[in-house]
Amino acid sequence: MALLEVCCYSMECALTAQQNGADRVELCAAPKEGGLTPSLGVLKSVRQRVTIPVHPIIRPRGGDFCYSDGEFAAILEDVRTVRELGFPGLVTGVLDVDGNVDMPRMEKIMAAAGPLAVTFHRAFDMCANPLNTLNNLAGLGITRVLTSGQKSDALQGLSKIMELIAHGDAPIIMAGAGVRAENLHHFLDAGVLEVHSSAGAWQASPMRYRNQGLSMSSDAHADEYSRYVVDGAAVAEMKGIIERHQAK
């Protein structure tokens, strides 16, 4: 049966995902940045309360995946922290200036991760040659690759995802970006074994007092009185679709 991973931005969201049938959680901070490394407090809280597998993302900033020496040092420290806290896996990725996997740095990450399952995230979608990249990741011992097939969403990239799956047995190819209940059957019918979804929505802040003339963001149009949360009903619906597909 296909596995459902849900992207979560808080402990509460991780619990919601778990309670509604998610098989695994990708734990992140900063949804508007596409997911950054969670704080130590969030990591510890989730480790204590969530029982399904949780894989934190290790990404020090938004933007590209070519990092300074200082940023890479922070990545290694975060990998060690996640390992020490007892998480079963993590999500990360590093590219060089030419859009290839930065093999020396990824080798250091794999050494620091030890027995943890490592997912190479959508840095894969920014690489120059996906099939060569997949071969390099297989050589590193990467467990899975999260990809939209190098398109803005995974449905548009489904043909590339199928090509990657056909390329070999390892790493596992996990489809993500825009995967929802309404299009999930396309991925299941194509034989995708793991899917990744935020399964969420923007929720209004509970604050009654709002200073509308002030923003904490450099984006003057940002809505600071909303937050992205996992929709339990959406998770349950996706899990049900997977189970019914398996039963056919």
Q: What pLDDT shows up at residue 212?
A: 80
Joined tokens for residue 220: 């003057």
- What architecture (CATH level 2) is domain 3-247? Alpha-Beta Barrel (3.20)
pLDDT band at 106 (very low <50, low <70, confident <90, very high): very high
Q: Is 29 exposed, middle or buried (0-12, 13-18, 19+ CB in 10 A)?
A: middle
DSSP 184-221: HHHHHHTT--EEEE--EEEEE---S---TT--SSS-TT
Residue with tokens 């390329």: 167
* Cα torsion through 87, 173, 140, 24, rounded to 10: 0
Cα–Cα dist 27/50, whole Å: 11
Report d(CA 67, CA 86) in Å as an integer: 26
Tell me the one-letter amino acid at 92. T
The number of residues in the chain equals 248
- pTM of the predicted structure, to 2 decimals: 0.94
Rounded distance, CA 41 to CA 32, Å? 20
- For residue range 174-233, list pLDDT tens digits in order: 999 999 999 999 999 999 999 999 999 999 989 898 888 777 776 666 778 888 899 999
